[in-house]
Structure 1
Amino acid sequence: MTSRLLAILLSTLLTLPAFATQSTSADSLLKLHQMRLAAQRSLGDFYMYNGMEGDQRYARMIDESVQQADARLKELGEMPGEASKALSAQLTREWQNYHGELSGLVTALKQAGFTDLQPVADLTDRNKRLMELCNELYAKIQQEGAAQVPPLTQRSREQSLLMQTIAVDYASRSASVGGSFMGGSGGKAIDELASDFATQLASMEQAPQNTPEIRQALDGISTKWRYIEKSLKNYNEKSVPFLINKYSDRIIDGLEDVSARYSAAQS
């Protein structure tokens, strides 16, 4: 074997661990994103369950969201560094606390038909802390794992989270449980969040990297968005929580499909 071939072989072997770490980190980032979406959605499901007077459909949706969040959390790969490991452990504890509080409130609703406002406010605060931890870990994995999420993939994920935030906030107001959900919204009103979503969606549609398939998918998302946009921008008028809940789920599904397509195109 020549010295040149030996050098190439050694260089390849040395870079394999880095590629493996980046691949594991990228997968963990996807699982973590899916976990925070499901965890956030579980709070919206609870608000719907509360506002719809114990409709068992939403009790089942709470269970589905919780199971999905729990599964994605457990699927996180090996953390790339000490800080991310510590944050992951903290996130697991916070999730267990949130899950326990949520289960207690669901049981109270089933048995008594109502809940006190303070435990609901506490649950909302717990969910907010959970989202903050998710976001902190998401950033730390990228930092320690040297695995940056491609820009368009990140934009579509952020758009999914924004849609979920809008849906949860709307469900909170419709359920009249006191105080709106502010997870990541910076205290903005629903109409402001809706304007942000519309602006960012239009920007995504103009991305030069969009393939015909992605453009078609974004067009489908835009059609669904236009169906609920007016209700969101006039949220203080007629309340339509079922409609917002239904279409936000479909929009998020569409955005996650677009995100996966961006990832495939940019990998």
Structure 2
Amino acid sequence: MKDTTLRLRSLVAPLIFLAITSMAVRAQEGANGFLADLHDFRVSNYMALDAFYRFSGTGNTETLNEIVQGINSANDAMNSLAESDSGVLSAEQLEALNQEFDRFKNLMRDNINDVRKRGYPDLRLVSDMANQAFTMNEKATELYEVAQESTHTATDPRVEAARSAAVKMAQMMAKYSVRSNSAVTQTFQGSSTEKPLDEQARELDALLGSVIQGQGTPELKAVLNDISSKWQFIRGSYINYNERNVGFVIDRYSKGILKGLATTIELLQGNA
């Protein structure tokens, strides 16, 4: 009888261990997915803002589609966060972020309608939207940090640096679009609480340095070299703004950096 009991215990113990391990893995995967959604939310909103500043000067349908794409992407991320059962953040915390997002979307809709009806933006309304975007994304960043601490998720420092670099790049793109767009540049310079572009560019230097340093596969090294080359090509334009700079080139290379950072994150996580 004792032998049977011991055998049962020896069988049950590994099963309990496997169950606990499986639950822990699923919890960590859920937490990582949660952080990825918060990251996508921040980048997508800045991309929508960047597209709006360009749209305000041209009324171009293609650029309007970029705004819609950015808002839809942020909306998908917000829905994924709200539907998550990971328990990383409280319902109240997520609802607070969603309310900030609703305000941003409403202001974006009103600004788009203004440009379509009048042919030019209402600078007061644009300023309200820029400040709301900054407030909303600061809230998202705060919740990102809370989520990291509450879940004790062991994320790769290079992944975190790449995510921070992507958010910084998207934020810089939006601010650069303000300065290079004739419809808004004369009296409006973006959010009143944002850092100057040259200061943000130097922060991006440090973040990219953290991402680029370290070992990696040949594929990863190739992507990082491409990011570095693109950044060196446009860095001077961000640090020393000049009206003669070609805005669409800066925009194209900045988007290339964002794409490269997204690939970098995938490769780093795949090698983890």
TM-score of the pair, normalised by structure 1 = 0.89
Which residues of 2 match residues 191-230 of structure 1 at below 5 A? 191-207=198-214, 209-230=215-236
1:244 aligns to 2:250 (yes or no): yes
User: Where does residue 120 of structure 1 map in the other structure?
Assistant: 126
User: Where does residue 70 of structure 1 map in the other structure?
Assistant: 75
Q: Distance in 1 between matches of 2:59 and 2:245?
A: 18
C-alpha displacement at 1:82, in angstroms? Answer: 7.6
Whether the 8 Å CA contact 1:157–1:255 is kept in 2: the answer is yes
Shifted more, 230-239 versus 215-224: the winner is 230-239
Deviations 1:147-173 (A, max 9, x none): 232211111111111111111111112
C-alpha displacement at 1:261, in angstroms? Answer: 0.7
Give the alignment partner of residue 96 of structure 1, picking from 102, 116, 120: 102
User: Where does residue 189 of structure 1 map in the other structure?
Assistant: 196
Deviations 1:188-232 (A, max 9, x none): 32122223323432343222x322211110111122222212222
Q: Distance in 2 between matches of 1:147 and 1:202?
A: 23
1:16 aligns to 2:22 (yes or no): yes
C-alpha displacement at 1:74, in angstroms? Answer: 1.3
User: Where does residue 3 of structure 2 map in the other structure?
Assistant: none
Which residues of 2 match residues 40-51 of structure 1 at below 5 A? 40-50=46-56
C-alpha displacement at 1:11, in angstroms? Answer: 2.5
Extract unaligned runs of 5+ from structure 2: 1-6
1:55 aligns to 2:60 (yes or no): yes
Extract unaligned runs of 5+ from structure 1: none
What letter matches 1:193 in structure 2? Answer: Q
Following TM superposition, where does structure 1 have runs of at least 4 consecutive aligned residues deviating by more than 4 angstroms? Answer: none
Q: Using a 3 Å threshold, how does the CA distance of structure 1 residues 123 and 79 change in structure 2: closer, same or farther? A: farther
C-alpha displacement at 1:105, in angstroms? Answer: 0.6
User: Where does residue 87 of structure 1 map in the other structure?
Assistant: 93
What letter matches 2:58 in structure 1? Answer: E
1:179 aligns to 2:189 (yes or no): yes
Aligned with 2:35: secondary structure? helix
Q: Distance in 2 between matches of 1:158 and 1:198?
A: 11
Whether the 8 Å CA contact 1:81–1:145 is kept in 2: the answer is no
What letter matches 1:180 in structure 2? Answer: G
Q: Distance in 1 between matches of 2:210 and 2:23?
A: 37
Identity %: 26
TM-score of the pair, normalised by structure 2 = 0.88
Q: Distance in 2 between matches of 1:148 and 1:93?
A: 30
Which residues of 2 match residues 251-262 of structure 1 at below 5 A? 251-262=257-268
Which residues of 2 match residues 164-175 of structure 1 at below 5 A? 164-175=170-181
Q: Distance in 2 between matches of 1:144 and 1:104?
A: 37
Aligned with 1:75: secondary structure? helix
Whether the 8 Å CA contact 1:21–1:80 is kept in 2: the answer is yes
Give the alignment partner of residue 265 of structure 1, picking from 255, 258, 271: 271
Aligned with 2:271: secondary structure? helix
Whether the 8 Å CA contact 1:153–1:259 is kept in 2: the answer is yes
Q: What is the CA RMSD across the aligned residues, in angstroms?
A: 2.1
